[in-house]
Amino acid sequence: MSGTHANTVPLRMCELCHARKPVLRRPKTLQKLCKPCFYHVFETEIHNTIMEAKLFHRGERVAIGASGGKDSTVLAHVMKTLNERYDYGVEFVLLSIDEGITGYRDDSLETVKRNKEQYSMDLEIVSYSELYGWSMDQIVAQIGNKNNCTYCGVFRRQALDRGSVKLGISHILTGHNADDMAETILMNLLRGDVARLDRCTEIVTDSSDSPVKRSKPFKYTYEKEIVLYAHYKKLDYFSTECTYSPEAFRGTARTLIKNLEAVRPSSIIDIIKSGESFVLLKNQKKYPTPAERQETATTMATASTCQNLAQGAPSAFDPNVTRANRCHTCGYLSMNKICKACILLEGLNAGRAKLELDGGVEPTGQAALTKKLEQLSF
Amino acid sequence: MKINIEFSGGLETVFQNIRKYSIDLEAPSDGSPLNIKYLLTYMVDVLMDADSKANGGVGLFLLDGLIRPGVLILINDTDWELEGEEEYLLQEGDIILFASTLHGG
């Protein structure tokens, strides 16, 4: 049996060029494509998404949220390619967040530093330690391994905003792909979070508590294709799971999406199409217009860190912006009196003070956790 | 038969943290075909470390005895969906890549 060509799959040619051997089957269309045709459709679809959403304007400076992982690495590569091919006239800058997770972010930031050279883009790194006085390792050492994703999520959101403002940029691209979006739609549906369900399918998200808009050029791009693109193009990316365990509910939604995709590959795009078609009847909220956002972005520009703001707050305020829209502690845009990050920080700092008073264990270094199985859970 | 196994995307963590294996695979004694399905079982039996097996490592790789959705397989750099998936009969010198798509980006 061995050595014979017993594999009965008939050799077919690429369904687009009919000339080369196909290397993959696209999950979205089930088309069998060769490498060059795959690159072409992959990049062209993203270009079409960008054009339809009028994502950029000539002369715009746009930040790419870069983690060193596959999605953001492919994003940087494709944005550079398309910007040159179609002459968008956009200047891209890499913006990375250093959460302070030993063995994970420190290594992935090395990848981003190489990407900076490979793609000739400027790179700005903003760290949790510098902004908040706490690294994720220290936070986990203090609060344990349970709600750490909440802290990380709230802090990252603000850190990206502050990084952008520092760069004078009001538009960030993120590498969220179709699988991520389908997962988020499902999670919002399952939680009954109707307001988020309404917003989460938008390619550009604005919110009244952020001076920076975020866009997802990969919202229709399958994770499978991103991984294959990165693999075939031999892109330099970092692939290790965060050492701290992911949020259980998200993990479950992810598994569900992947299982659905295995049975019916179009499920992912179908969930997104369904999500886009939902119409919210009640409780519609009004979001700021781009002009309003621009104004608040300018006033944010003087703000550098949470602590600095708390000390020298008045200079950071534009008299035209009411104090009601800002966090009373740090001056960050907020719907509430105190922004989420400051609420979390208050709790952390109270805990640290208590530890110091009690002469307890120093919350230094990373939590004694190994990135093993449970952290790698899907 | 000589087969090369490679991991990307973090799956190597349940296979003794080794990213590339070159193995010599014997045809199954019960006469069943030397295909990907057999390789998956072999990998769990022989290559996965005991510690990972004891801690749910199999569940990260397989689901009901088949490859877990979200793990891509490339046979000599071609999507296994074009090669017959589990039924693909291994050939001398094949490179089988297991890429997890499940990591953050």
Tell whether A376 is within 8 A of chain B (Cβ). Answer: yes
**% pLDDT > 70, chain A:** 78
Q: Given an 8 Å threshold on Cβ–Cβ distance, is B10 in contact with A239?
A: yes
Q: Which tokens is A35 given?
A: 């490498």
Tell me what the pLDDT averaged over chain A comes to: 82
**Backbone φ, ψ for residue A96 (5° rounding):** -120, 150
Q: How far is A343 from chain B (nearest CA, A)?
A: 27
* Residue that the structure tokens 């490592």 belong to: B57
Q: Domain residues of chain A, as ranges?
A: 35-277
Q: What is the pLDDT of residue A350?
A: 86
Question: Does A45 score more than 50 pLDDT?
Answer: yes
Answer yes or no: is B105 within a domain: no
**Other Cβ atoms closer than 10 A to A54:** 8
Q: Is the pLDDT of residue A222 over 60?
A: yes
Using a CB–CB cutoff of 8 Å, tell me whether B46 touches chain A.
Answer: no
Q: Is B105's Cβ below 8 Å from some Cβ in A?
A: yes
Option in B77, B81, B88 nearest A7 (CB):
B88
The token pair at A52 is 């339809």
Contacts of A240 in chain B (CB under 8 A): 10, 103
Chain A / chain B CB contacts < 8 angstroms: 120
Q: The CATH number of the domain where B72 resides is what?
A: 3.10.20.30
- Residue A373 in this model has a pLDDT that exceeds 80: no
> Under an 8 A CB cutoff, do B60 and A224 touch?
no
**Is there a domain that residue B15 lies in?**
yes
| CATH of segment(s) A35-277 | 3.40.50.620
Cβ-defined contact of B13 to A232 (cutoff 8 Å)? no
Three-state DSSP at A72 gives helix
- Residue predicted with more confidence, A224 or A364: A224
Instruction: Grade residue A357 by pLDDT with cuts at 50, 70 and 90.
Output: low
Q: Does A24 touch chain B (CB under 8 A)?
A: yes
- Mean pLDDT across the stretch A260-266? 94
Please indicate if any CB of chain A lies within 8 Å of the CB of B41: no
Of A246, A209, A266, A214, the residue nearest A27 (C-alpha)? A266
Structure tokens given for B102: 């499940």
Residue A353: other Cβ atoms inside 10 A = 10
B64 CB-contact burial (10 Å; exposed 0-12 / middle 13-18 / buried 19+): exposed
Q: What is the pLDDT of residue A330?
A: 86
Mean pLDDT of A142-168: 89
pLDDT band at A367 (very low <50, low <70, confident <90, very high): very low
Residue-by-residue DSSP string for A11-46: P---TTTSSS---EE-TTT--EE-HHHHHHHHHHHH
Q: Which residues of B touch A371 (CB under 8 A)?
A: 13
Residue B76: pLDDT band with limits 50, 70, 90: very high
The number of angstroms, rounded, from the C-alpha of A172 to the middle of its chain's C-alpha atoms is 9
Domain count, chain B: 1
Of A45-59, A362-376, B15-29, B71-85, least confident by mean pLDDT is A362-376
User: For residue B84, which residues of chain A lie inside 8 Å, CB to CB?
Assistant: 7-9
The answer to whether A65 is annotated as binding is yes
pLDDT of residue A369: 34
Q: What is the rounded average pLDDT of the residues A78-95?
A: 98
If you average pLDDT over each of A57-61, A280-284, A345-349, which comes out highest?
A57-61
**Which chain B residues are Cβ-neighbours of A72 within 8 angstroms?**
105
pLDDT tens per residue across span A111-154: 999 999 999 999 999 999 999 999 999 999 988 887 888 888 88
pLDDT for res B13 = 87
pLDDT of residue A289: 55
| pLDDT for the residue A249 | 83
Mean pLDDT, residues B62-72: 91
Bridge partners, residue B96, by sequence: B5, B75
Question: Among A70, A241, A258, whose Cβ lies nearest the Cβ of B70?
Answer: A258
Structural domain for B16, as ranges: 2-100
Burial class (CB in 10 A: 0-12, 13-18, 19+), A89: exposed
Which of the pair, A258 or A376, is modelled with greater confidence?
Answer: A258
How far is it, in rounded angstroms, from Cα B45 to Cα B53?
9
Q: Which residue has the higher pLDDT, A154 or A367?
A: A154
A289-325 pLDDT per residue, tens? 556 566 555 555 544 444 433 333 333 334 444 556 7
Q: Please compute the mean of the pLDDT values over residues B40-55 and round it to a whole number.
A: 93
For residue A242, the chain B residues in CB contact (below 8 A) are: 104
Q: What's the pLDDT band for A175 if we cut at 50, 70, 90?
A: very high
Say whether B10 and A231 touch across the interface (CB within 8 A).
Answer: no
Locate A28 and state its tokens.
């979205």
pLDDT value at residue A2: 45
